[in-house]
Amino acid sequence: MTEKKNPTSRTVTATHGKCVFSPDPSAESTMAKHLKENFSRDEILALYSRYSHGLDSYDSMMRRVLWKALAQKVGSGLKIGIGVSFKHLETFNFGNNVFIGDHAILQGRFDGNAKIEDGSWIGPQAFLDARELLIGKNVGLGPGVKILGSVHTGIPTDLPIIETDLEIRPVIIEEEADIGTGAIILPGIKIGKGAIVGAGAVVNNSVSQYDIVAGIPATFVRKRE
């Protein structure tokens, strides 16, 4: 019987992180402007549902055009996966070359503020409580990452917690940070520039620049060299 060899790890070139910026065709902005001026928000949302699960390049382009008609700002090169859902996209500001993975959920608030800067990558099935959220440039969020932005006060105690007021706490993820698959970022947390959060970590304290943290709750592992 021949013994099977275990496959060895290998290193390949990054793709999204090395994308070269190129402006979107001007026709996309023209179409988005037309939609915004001549269609209601509900009509644009109905159009989005028509293209939200399509796999070809035209569907992908139409998703981007419709987001341009709905969002506060959309830079060039936005890539939106299939089945992405959102609330209050009008409060979102997207930089250039942002990627939103399949079935991600972006939950804004009518009076909120969400910004995702140039080059950032939001993994499939991520959940962003984006009522007060800043994601800096070239940030990576792994698949299934959850960012939470609010907590019930629990006061008064004679009410069910779900009936008590919500305290919205801003979350900031600075440029070049990387958040591992399935990690959870709790309300009010700041992740410093270039920091790494390990897969499955629960982050309940802010993380300094270039720190590596992991575990439940997340604890300091070491500094990146």
Average pLDDT for 92-100: 98
Q: Indicate the domain borders of the chain.
A: 25-70, 84-223
Q: Reduced to 3 states, what is the DSSP secondary structure of residue 203? A: strand
State the Cα–Cα distance between residues 115 and 112, nearest whole angstrom: 10
CB atoms within 10 A of CB 27: 10
Per-residue pLDDT at 222: 97
Residue 2 is predicted with a pLDDT of 57
Note the pLDDT of residue 4.
61
Element (H, E) at 220: strand 219-223
Two structure tokens written together for 99: 């990627």
**pLDDT at residue 21 in the model:** 74
111, amino acid identity: D
Task: Report cis status (omega within 30 of 0) of the bond before 25.
Answer: no
**Chain center to CA of 179:** 11
- pLDDT tens figures, 176-189: 999 999 999 999 99
CATH number for the segment(s) 84-223: 2.160.10.10
Cα–Cα distance list, 15 to 25, 75, 121, 181, 196 (Å): 22, 19, 11, 18, 19
Whole-number percent of the chain with pLDDT over 70: 97
Instruction: Identify whether the C-beta of residue 97 lies closer than 8 Å to the C-beta of residue 71.
Output: no
CA distance 212 to 21: 30
pTM listed for this prediction = 0.93
pLDDT higher than 90, residue 3? no
Largest Cα–Cα distance in the chain?
71
Residues 42-90: pLDDT tens digits? Answer: 999 999 999 999 999 999 999 999 999 999 999 999 999 999 999 999 9
Mean pLDDT of the chain: 95
Residue 105 to residue 83: CA distance in whole angstroms: 9
